[in-house]
Amino acid sequence: MLKTVGTADSDASLSSEEPPSPSSADASTKPASLVAAPATKWATQARSGQWLDWRWHMRNRIRTVAQLRERFPALDVSAGLLQAAQKFPLAITPYYASLIRQLDASDPIFRMCVPQAQELHDPGFLKDDPLEEAEDMPVPGLVHRYADRALLITTTTCSTYCRHCTRKRVAGMYESTIRAARLQQAVAYLAAHPEITDVILSGGDPLTMSTEMLERIVAAVRSVPSVQLIRIGTRTPVVLPARITGELVGMLKKYHPIWINTHFNHPAELTPEAAAACERLVDAGVPLGNQTVLLRGVNDRPEIMEQLCRGLVRLRVRPYYLFQCDLVRGIEHFRTPLSRGIEIMEYMRGRVSGLAIPTFVVDAPHGGGKIPVLPNYVVSTSPTHTVLRNFEGMLVAYPEPTAEAAASAMAAGGDSDPGVWELATGKATAIRPIKSSRLRRRVMKGLCQGGG
Ligand code: SF4
Chain segment 85-100, per-residue pLDDT in tens: 999 999 999 999 999 9
Question: Of the candidates 350, 372, 394, which is a domain's last residue?
Answer: 372
Tally of helices (H runs) and strands (E runs) in the chain: 16, 13
Task: Report helix, strand or coil for 438.
Answer: helix
Is 340 within a domain?
yes
What residues pair up with 321 in beta bridges, in sequence order?
A: 291, 359
DSSP letter string, 263-275: ---SGGG--HHHH
How many domains in the chain?
3
For residue 337, the Cα-to-chain-centroid distance in whole angstroms is: 19
Domain assignment present for 1: no
CA torsion 365→367→368→370, rounded to 10°? 90
Is residue 243 annotated as a catalytic residue, yes or no?
Answer: no
Same-domain pairing of 160 and 259: yes
Whether residue 356 is found in the same domain as residue 407: no
User: What element of type H or E holds 319?
Assistant: strand 317-323
Q: Does 213 reside within a domain?
A: yes
122-157 residues labelled b (16+ CB within 10 A) or e (exposed): eeeebeebbbbbeebbebebbbbbeeebbbbbbbbb
Identify the pLDDT of residue 403.
60
Q: Which residue among the candidates 69, 96, 107, 162 is catalytic per the annotation?
A: 162
> In this structure, are 160 and 80 located in the same domain?
no
Does residue 368 sit in the same domain as residue 386?
Answer: no
Atom of ligand 1 nearest to the CA of 233: 2
pLDDT of residue 444: 81
Question: Which pLDDT score, from 0 to 100, does residue 41 have?
Answer: 67
- Asked whether residue 232 falls in the same domain as residue 252, the answer is yes
Length of the chain: 452
Do 143 and 58 fall within a single domain? no
Closest ligand 1 atom to Cα of 204 = 3
Per-residue pLDDT reduced to its tens digit, 384-407: 999 999 999 999 999 988 766 556
Residue 154 contacts by C-beta under 8 Å, 6 or more apart in sequence? Answer: 141, 177, 178, 201, 202, 203, 204, 206, 209, 214, 217
Measure Cα distances from 68 to 73, 159, 246, 364 in Å: 8, 15, 31, 35
149 assigned to some structural domain? yes
The CA distance from 159 to 164, in Å, is 15
Same domain, 189 and 315: yes
In 144-239, beta strands by DSSP E:
149-153, 198-202, 229-233
**Ligand 1 mean position to 291 CA, how many Å?**
12
Which residues have C-beta within 8 Å of that of residue 443, sequence separation ≥ 6? none
Catalytic residue among 163, 167, 335, 427: 167
Do residue 169 and residue 100 come from a single domain? no
| Ligand 1 center–CA 156 separation, angstroms | 9
Q: How far apart are the first and last CA of the chain?
A: 57
CA of residue 122 to ligand 1 center, whole Å: 20
Q: Which of 62, 87, 119 is the last residue of a domain?
A: 119
CATH of the domain at 333: 3.20.20.70
Q: What angle do CA 158, 148, 286 make, to 5 degrees?
A: 50
- State whether the beta carbon of 167 lies less than 6 angstroms from ligand 1: yes
Q: Which amino acid is at 105?
A: A
Establish if 304 belongs to a structural domain.
Answer: yes
Co-location of 149 and 79 in the same domain = no
Residues 292 and 271 in one domain: yes
- Looking at the fold, whether 416 and 307 belong to one and the same domain comes out as no
Residues 172 and 208: their CA atoms lie apart, in Å, by 12
Q: Which residue segment(s) compose the domain that 253 sits in?
A: 134-372
Q: Is the CB of 328 under 6 A from ligand 1?
A: no
Is the residue at 25 inside a domain? no
What whole-number distance in Å separates Cα of residue 356 and Cα of residue 362? 19
**Of 85, 119, 153, at which residue does a domain stop?**
119
Which residues have a Cβ under 8 Å from the Cβ of 376 and sit 6 or more positions away?
Answer: 389
pLDDT of residue 21: 33
pLDDT, residue 177, reads 96
**Sequence-distant contacts of 131-136: CB under 8 A, at least 24 apart:** 131/166, 131/326, 131/363, 131/364, 131/365, 131/367, 132/365, 132/366, 132/367, 133/367, 135/367, 136/367
pLDDT at position 401: 86
Q: Is residue 308 a part of any domain in this protein? A: yes
Residue 203 beta carbon below 6 angstroms from any ligand 1 atom: yes
278 CB under 6 A from ligand 1? no
- List per-residue pLDDT tens for the chain, 452 residues long: 444 454 333 332 223 322 233 333 333 444 433 444 444 567 677 667 889 999 999 999 999 999 999 999 999 999 999 999 999 999 999 999 999 999 999 999 999 999 999 999 999 999 999 999 999 999 999 999 999 999 999 999 999 999 999 999 989 998 999 999 999 999 999 999 999 999 999 999 999 999 999 999 999 999 999 999 999 999 999 999 999 999 999 999 999 999 999 999 999 999 999 999 999 999 999 999 999 999 999 999 999 999 999 999 999 999 999 999 999 999 999 999 999 999 999 999 999 999 999 999 999 998 889 999 999 999 999 999 999 999 999 999 999 887 665 565 555 555 567 899 999 988 999 999 888 888 888 888 877 776 54
β-sheet bridge partners, residue 352: 349
- Does residue 79 share a domain with residue 50? yes
The amino acid that residue 295 corresponds to is L
